[in-house]
């Protein structure tokens, strides 16, 4: 069951949770980690289920969604390589607060919750890194909250795209590309609107040449114009 492939300590250096740690500690964390490939589409864990492992992504992408009792869902966050996910419940109530699905073929590291907790107890730097990571996400969530309460759908979608560029943007010939594969529904679920509204707005931007949409990827041709929409109107 458990992959016995030894985990390379150098791989851990790319994970924000282990930033600024001496090699010995990386070795220690690597010794307790387990590697696993995540084929596209795999459901990694379900909302409400006991947190059996704490996760970090070495490559690929993972979609974190949260559904309410009525079935309506939002996209809480997209996880890229080097990011952790499903780690907070280790320290709180022990239940995953959301669903996690691989959106491209990916590779993860994971730890037994008790092991990660022990690691954090021994090395406060890891715990401090985790506060910084979770704190940053909290700040983003509050920003989204404010936008959702006060701004129009097109501004929110523009902000969504800019944030995604920030997280996973890369230069291409005709603009900046978002490295995650995104459905219209994903955009809508991040921006807090419906598939239909998102589709209309993106189609309009595409007509105006702000945006190029290729199979499941978005390229922002004019980040400046996008900025302008995100700000004024």
Residue ranges that bind its own copies, judged by CB under 8 A: 66, 68-70, 72-74, 76, 88-89, 91-92, 97-98, 117, 120-125, 127-128, 130-132, 134-139, 141-151, 189, 192-193, 231
Nearest distance, CB of residue 187 and DNA, angstroms: 8
Q: What is the DSSP string of 118-149?
A: HHHHH-HHHHHHHHHHHHHHHHHHHHHHHHHH
- Report the alpha-carbon distance of residue 17 to residue 26 in Å, rounded: 11
Nearest distance, CB of residue 59 and its own copies, angstroms: 25
Nearer to its own copies, 92 or 215 (CB): 92
- Report the alpha-carbon distance of residue 193 to residue 147 in Å, rounded: 12
**Computed from CA positions of residues 218, 221, 224, 230, in that sequence, does the dihedral angle turn out positive or negative?**
negative
- Residue 219 binds to DNA (criterion: CB under 7 A): no
Nearest distance, CB of residue 205 and DNA, angstroms: 10
DSSP assignment letter at 5: P
- Report the alpha-carbon distance of residue 158 to residue 40 in Å, rounded: 27
Q: Which residues in the 143-202 window bind DNA by CB under 7 A? A: 152-154, 183-185, 192-197, 199-200, 202
- Residue 141: name its binding partner from its own copies, DNA, none (Cβ under 5 to 8 Å by kind): its own copies
DSSP assignment letter at 6: P
Q: Where are the beta strands (DSSP E) in 103-209?
A: 106-111, 169-172, 175-178
Nearer to DNA, 19 or 219 (CB): 219
The residues of the shown chain that bind DNA, judged by CB under 7 A, are 152-154, 183-185, 192-197, 199-200, 202-203, 206, 213, 215-216
């Amino acid at each position: 069951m458990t992959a016995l492939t030894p985990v390379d300590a150098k791989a851990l250096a790319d994970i924000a949770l282990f930033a600024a740690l001496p090699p010995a500690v990386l070795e220690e964390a690597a010794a307790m980690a387990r590697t696993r490939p995540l084929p596209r589409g795999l459901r990694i864990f379900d909302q409400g289920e006991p947190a059996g492992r704490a996760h970090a992504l070495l490559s690929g992408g993972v979609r974190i969604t949260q559904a309410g009792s009525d079935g309506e869902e939002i996209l809480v966050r997209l996880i890229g390589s080097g990011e952790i996910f499903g780690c907070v419940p280790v320290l709180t109530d022990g239940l995953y607060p959301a669903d996690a699905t691989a959106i491209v073929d990916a590779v993860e590291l994971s730890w037994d919750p008790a092991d990660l907790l022990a690691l954090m107890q021994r090395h406060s730097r890891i715990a401090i890194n985790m506060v910084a990571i979770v704190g940053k996400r909290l700040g983003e969530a509050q920003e989204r909250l404010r936008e959702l309460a006060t701004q129009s759908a097109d501004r929110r979608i523009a902000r969504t795209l800019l944030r995604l560029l920030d997280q996973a943007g890369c230069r291409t010939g005709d603009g900046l590309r978002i490295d995650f594969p995104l459905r219209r529904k994903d955009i809508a679920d991040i921006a807090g609107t419906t598939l239909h509204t998102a589709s209309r707005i993106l189609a309009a931007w595409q007509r105006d040449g702000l945006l190029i949409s290729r199979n499941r990827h978005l390229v922002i041709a004019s980040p400046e114009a996008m900025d302008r929409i995100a700000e004024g109107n």
